[in-house]
Amino acid sequence: MTTELHILNPATEEVIATVPAATAADVDTAVTRAAHARRAWAAAAPADRARLLRRFAAAVDDHLEELALLEVREAGHTVGNARWEAGNVRDLLDYAAGGVERLTGRQIPVPGGIDLTILEPLGVIGVIAPWNFPMPIAAWGTAPALAAGNAVILKPAETTPLTALRLAELALEAGLPEYLFQVLPGEGPVAGSALVEHPGVAKIVFTGSTRVGKGIMAACADRVKRVTLELGGKNPNIVFADADIEAAALAAPMSFLDNSGQDCCARTRILVQRTAYDRFMELLAPAVEKVVVGDPADERTQMGPLISRAQLDRVRSYVPDDADAVRGTAPEGPGFWYPPTLLTGLAPDAPAATDEVFGPVAAVLPFDDEADAVRLANATDYGLSGSIWTRDVGRALRVSQAVQAGNLSVNSHSSVRYWTPFGGYKQSGVGRELGPDALTAFTETKNVFISTSSTEG
């Protein structure tokens, strides 16, 4: 069992921090403390909970640049992306705070009395966050869970615990009760499993691979424990011949290269109608080649390194040296660098066209007509996100209804907004995060019937 986690800067491979790795005993202690802290938190006036969450948001805002630079160092994110991520944490805390006083039940008409529903917090929530977007995805579960009156134990990914630890410090500085929001860095098979299996944890929120998510779901099923799972994606970017081809081609590179392709929403299957294919590639290829890959702290950089040596080796395994490909450039020397890569001439069932590579690699596939586009788009076990490019409003609506995905964007590549629901179909996950109903996912609905029948003789 690992006793310490050595955190590397993926752009240099240098160790930037060492943190203790939580044990199963540490998880047990944390759950006990969280259960005690959350009772007073749940009983607090909604306005007081909302006020403290807004103070937490303000503390994040005051330290936004610090958090962003920490994310650059531990995750290799470009500084622009990292600033957005820290800002997203701030905004989500503010948004969740606004929901505290609007978390209402219902009065349901029934004969013989009055029927009420009450939304009660679940208790202790375990949030297991990934390394690809350490700050915002941690907040996706943490902010609404706290707002709904729960305590949260966050286990960050082994490679990216530093921003999570700093957020926990800022929560205390903002006045949140001690042990209400705890961060336990550690290994998945140790700390993560202990959190999943602990009887005092009411729900697990997990973002990560489908393989690990299935194991968590099975472990939670044995205990009838609630789960929200946001898992993998192999997302289509569908370009019809009637679209603005120039706009679609120029927008395509960063739809799969943002965060070095380490994004479950990355549009890594570019489906182009055959009659527009040549023109689209004439525009797309040079746009990919021009993407600036380098030091993530440099304001001009558009793409940084991959997170680890293991991830670099995984990405390389999908692209043979002799592949028919358009490649950009990447630095040589220390760091986990891989160039932007477009694969052409692949069969639709080739591994690079069906598997979640989780790197800066996209497959370009032609299609004949609308039905063919939908068939290709749905020919995957995943169903998380996707884009549709067309000037035909009717087509946009038809294809949006036909594509099996939880989040679609027309003539853009937007997938995630904190004020709208996010989640996937099929093996991309279970449940929804974010949006106006986020807080209710961390509550239990209690029904209360009050008889109004007279008991007088």
Q: Which of 264, 265, 356, 433 is catalytic?
A: 264
- In angstroms, what CA-CA distances link 145 with 184, 448, 451? 17, 24, 33
- Is 264 labeled as catalytic in the residue annotation? yes
The rounded distance, in Å, linking the Cα atoms of 295 and 305 is 8
Residues 6+ apart with CB under 8 A from 456: none
How big, in percent rounded to 5, are the helix, strand and coil portions of the chain?
Answer: 40, 20, 35
Q: Which of 71, 74, 230, 433 is catalytic?
A: 230
- What token pair was written down for 58? 């303000």
Residue recorded with tokens 């289509």: 236
Amino acid at 312: L
The rounded distance, in Å, linking the Cα atoms of 406 and 230 is 11
Task: Give the CA radius of gyration of the chain.
Answer: 23
Residue recorded with tokens 């006083």: 101
Alpha helices in 76-207 (DSSP H): 79-100, 134-147, 162-174, 193-197
Q: Is 309 helix (H, G, I), strand (E, B) or coil?
A: helix
DSSP 181: E
- In angstroms, what CA-CA distances link 246 with 122, 267, 284? 50, 17, 9
Provide the β-strand partners of residue 243: none
Element of type H or E holding 206: strand 203-207
- Catalytic positions, written as ranges: 230, 264
